[in-house]
Amino acid sequence: MPEKRQYPPTIRLRRLAAELCRLRAAAQLTREDVAERTSINAVTLYRIEKARARPQKRTLAALLDLYEASETQRSDLMTIQNSPSDQGWLRPYHSELPEEYTAYIGFEAEARTVRNYESLFIPGLAQTEEYAYAVVKGVLPMASQREVEQRVQARMERQALLVKEQPLRLWAIVDEAAIRREVGGLKVMRAQARHLLRLMEEPHITFQVIPFDKGAHAGMPSSFVHLDFPDPADPELVCVDTSAGDLFLESEAEIRRYMLMFEHLQAVAVGPNDSADLLIKLAAASE
């Protein structure tokens, strides 16, 4: 019998984990200290603090007692613990996608703002279906037709976030290589450039290009996404694209480092108007 898939934590569960870590640190206790003073072992506490497990009510109560949490903190965290797991973004076929990808889809679905830097690709939220198909087919040459179609379908469904009542705010920066590489051929790239130009007319979407003549820049080693969420209490998140898979970063130092990097890339890139001019020229040149 196949093992039941464990879906990624929700934003609320991540907030609960972050608050428990903060309260333990404020109480100047190690996980081993907590294990000695309660019936909670260190491994269980580690899983709770990494948002890999939802604590039982009695476990959470014991932790809050030990940490001498205030009534407000206790009420807020108990409310989170009692809230149902909201996985409304899941689709039946998502169980066949890589776990890192379903994790990212879930976080993105709950985000307020996505800041995305890409060195070689058009960001997924801004891809046309034809471009997305060519990308997936090229990057995953061993994937089956079904796997390619599922990846493309997931990518297209994600774009609904940009047109909902309170749309996701997207700030995308790409290296010029991303708009010049002929993914899928000239016709596909022409349509992709025009699609980007339409998206750039929306007030909640910003698109910038870093021209080749800017030389070396901080974004060259890897692509990344920074996400923040509607509730300031929800911890920000950075997703880094690596050859070994997506890496999720959550520490304050890591978040600050990538935000500074994104600000640097904003300064290096040409502005939205000049970026639009570059896209217009590329679309015209491919006629």
Measured CA to CA, the distance from residue 67 to residue 256 in angstroms comes to 28
Q: Which CATH class is domain 92-285?
A: alpha beta
Question: Residues spanned by CATH 3.30.870 within the chain?
Answer: 92-285
- Average pLDDT score over the chain: 87
Q: What is the pLDDT of residue 170?
A: 98
Q: What is the pLDDT of residue 280?
A: 94
pLDDT band at 152 (very low <50, low <70, confident <90, very high): very high
Give mean pLDDT, residues 40-64: 86
Using the predicted structure, report yes or no on whether residue 248 has a pLDDT greater than 50: yes
pLDDT band at 251 (very low <50, low <70, confident <90, very high): confident
Q: What is the pLDDT of residue 48?
A: 87
pLDDT band at 3 (very low <50, low <70, confident <90, very high): very low
Measured CA to CA, the distance from residue 224 to residue 164 in angstroms comes to 24
Q: Which CATH class is domain 11-82?
A: mainly alpha
Q: What is the pLDDT of residue 210?
A: 98
Q: What is the pLDDT of residue 72?
A: 84
Q: What is the pLDDT of residue 95?
A: 53
Give mean pLDDT, residues 53-68: 88
Q: What is the pLDDT of residue 7?
A: 40
With pLDDT > 70 as the criterion, what percentage of the chain qualifies? 89
In DSSP notation, the chain reads: -PPPP-PPPPHHHHHHHHHHHHHHHHTT--HHHHHHHSS--HHHHHHHHTTSSPPPHHHHHHHHHHTT--HHHHHHHHHHHHS----TT--GGGGGS-HHHHHHHHHHHH-SEEEEEESSS--GGG--HHHHHHHHHHH-TT--HHHHHHHHHHHHHHGGGGTSSSPPEEEEEEEHHHHHS-TT-HHHHHHHHHHHHHHTTSTTEEEEEE-GGG-S-TTSS--EEEEE-SSTTSPPEEEEEETTEEEEE-SHHHHHHHHHHHHHHHHHSBPHHHHHHHHHHHHHHT-
Q: What is the pLDDT of residue 4?
A: 40
Q: What is the pLDDT of residue 46?
A: 87
**How far are the Cα atoms of 45, 64, 271 from residue 60, in angstroms, in the given order?**
10, 6, 49
Using the predicted structure, report yes or no on whether residue 202 has a pLDDT greater than 50: yes
Q: What is the pLDDT of residue 6?
A: 42
Give mean pLDDT, residues 79-97: 57
Q: What is the pLDDT of residue 76?
A: 79
Provide the token pair at 116: 């995305």
Question: Residues spanned by CATH 1.10.260.40 within the chain?
Answer: 11-82
Question: What letter represents residue 15's amino acid?
Answer: R
* CB contact at 8 A, 72 and 44: no
Measured CA to CA, the distance from residue 76 to residue 268 in angstroms comes to 42
Using the predicted structure, report yes or no on whether residue 2 has a pLDDT greater than 50: no
pLDDT band at 49 (very low <50, low <70, confident <90, very high): confident
* CB contact at 8 A, 10 and 86: yes
Q: Name the residue with higher pLDDT: 211 or 247.
A: 211
